Structure 1
Amino acid sequence: MPILPLSPIRTGGKPARITEKRLEVDGLSFDVHRSGRRKTLQITVERSGDLSIVAPTGAADQEMLDFVQEKLLWIHTKLEEKARLQRRAPIKEFVDGEGFLYLGKSYRLRLIDQQLVDLSLKNGRFCLRRASVHRARDIFVSWYGHRAQKWFAKQVSEHATRMGVDIREVKVQDLGFRWGSFGSDGRLLFHWKAILLPPRIAQYVVVHELAHAHHPDHSANFWIKVEQHLPDWRNRKAWLAENGVQVEGL
């Protein structure tokens, strides 16, 4: 489908443009998703700052453009908020006394001269072999990933049964700005950083992704499915949106 400039809407002197999969207005670019089950328009601002709009299959291009135009102040406010939160995430230095999260709790780091393994968690402290500091980040990522694999596999097993979902594989890896991802092939992926979240928040990530087995978009029916299994999902979702960036600095 060719790019069609729509002159009735102009922002910053530039005409808005829309294709089958992309909408551009006011210097912003949105991924466009259409769903036959969707009744209303919805805009999503991801943690990464990526923007998307979900629309009913029959929604007119002009309707989407009008909706985005109406929500521009809200969108820019959200983008500024995301950028501000990102700036709050400190980069780890791997020095004595520095705090590292694990399942929502912060543990101080202690550098150890003699230790059989590179990293351990004992007596309420992360203990890192001093000779391994030069590759500390990789060591922490590996340690977190190993624990996350076990923790999320157990959580998925418990919740998937109750939610009527068949899972072929649970895998932990770096997902960029996503906490999790549900594939149509029955594979469920989680970011290794999700093991840094408090258990109740990590459980929300699990239920959220499992709900996508029933509803691939974030429609009203999707949130109804989430609420059936987590009645307080709104509080958990809000906590994640506000505080999730705290785990980004590793």
Structure 2
Amino acid sequence: MPLLPLSPVRTGGKLARSSGDTLEIDGLIFEVHRSDRRKTLQITVERSGELSITAPTGVPEWDLASFVEEKLLWIHTKIEEKARLQKRAPIKEFVNGEGFLYLGKSHRLRLVENQLVDLCLKNGRFCLRASSAHRARDVFIAWYTRRALKWFSQQVAEHANRMGVQVSEVKVQDLGFRWGSFSADGRVSFHWKAILLPPRIAQYVMIHELAHAHHPDHSASFWTKVEQHLPDWRTRKSWLAENGVQVEGL
């Protein structure tokens, strides 16, 4: 993320610098997003540790800096929480008896000698062909991707019309630190890891992304739209924030 040229921004405390698209204060770098529809300031700490601030179009840069300065303790606390959660993510070894999630339930792995397909879920167990064990991660990702595409396609078909959303395509791919995305051309994408989440949490991810068809930011209007279709979204959102990292260690 380019930071030059940077201009000093006056605040009541720490020195801040701004390049228009970014704001740096107290050693932290924020990506700045502005919107004519935005009424309030909002700071976001991503799971990756990246920082952003969303603001109404006309808010001066020094007001952004002052707002960030007021929230510095909260921001540093959130950054530490994200880092701590990342360290908790388990790394899979693909050995007999190891548990693998699918729609919120853990299924034990069994390595088998004679099997026509690389991987299948049978009688509550994941069965992995032993000869495919050397590429087990790719095999699991391919299996999860196929299942996720089917599951989310059904969910989107059920809810899109109800939410007044025109969806041109449903995709499943590796989205990095995002669970999903909604593009201006009507394509909705989900991370393949979202199929590891419990159904009620995966559904929250889906409703969240469809709501972005109406409100591309996370404004109050956006959350109102989410609440219209998912009244308990706060509980689901909190669960995802606290437990979502547990599905990242494949």
Please classify the TM superposition score into its range, dividing by the shorter chain length: over 0.9
Q: More deviation in 136-145 or 34-43?
A: 34-43
Structure 1 gap ranges (5+): none
Q: More deviation in 213-222 or 1-10?
A: 1-10
Aligned to 2:48: 48
Structure 2 gap ranges (5+): none
- The AA in structure 2 aligned to 1:144 is Y
Alpha-carbon distance, 1:36 to partner:
1.2
Looking at structure 1, the residues matched to 131 and 12 of structure 2 have their Cα atoms a distance apart, in angstroms, of 61
**Are 1:6 and 2:46 an aligned pair?**
no
Aligned to 1:170: 170
Alpha-carbon distance, 1:113 to partner:
1.1
CA-to-partner distance for each residue in 1:46-100, whole Å, 9 max, x for gaps?
1111111011111111110000000000000000000000001111000000000
Where do residues 83-102 of structure 1 align in structure 2 (5 Å cutoff)? 83-102=83-102
- The AA in structure 1 aligned to 2:246 is Q
- The AA in structure 2 aligned to 1:29 is I
**Are 1:186 and 2:189 an aligned pair?**
no
**Are 1:141 and 2:144 an aligned pair?**
no
**Are 1:227 and 2:227 an aligned pair?**
yes
Alpha-carbon distance, 1:2 to partner:
5.0
Alpha-carbon distance, 1:5 to partner:
1.0
Q: Is the 8 A contact 2:30 2:53 kept in 1?
A: yes
Q: Is the 8 A contact 2:30 2:51 kept in 1?
A: yes
Q: Is the 8 A contact 1:119 1:143 kept in 2?
A: yes
Alpha-carbon distance, 1:8 to partner:
4.1
Q: With structure 1 as the length reference, what TM-score do the two structures score? A: 0.96
SS of 2:161's equivalent in the other structure is: helix
Runs of 4+ in 1 over 3 A off after TM superposition: 7-11
Where do residues 14-29 of structure 1 align in structure 2 (5 Å cutoff)? 15-29=15-29
- The AA in structure 1 aligned to 2:21 is K
Q: Is the 8 A contact 2:9 2:61 kept in 1?
A: no
Aligned to 1:111: 111
Aligned alpha-carbon RMSD (Å): 1.2
CA-to-partner distance for each residue in 1:190-226, whole Å, 9 max, x for gaps?
0000000000000000000000000000000000000
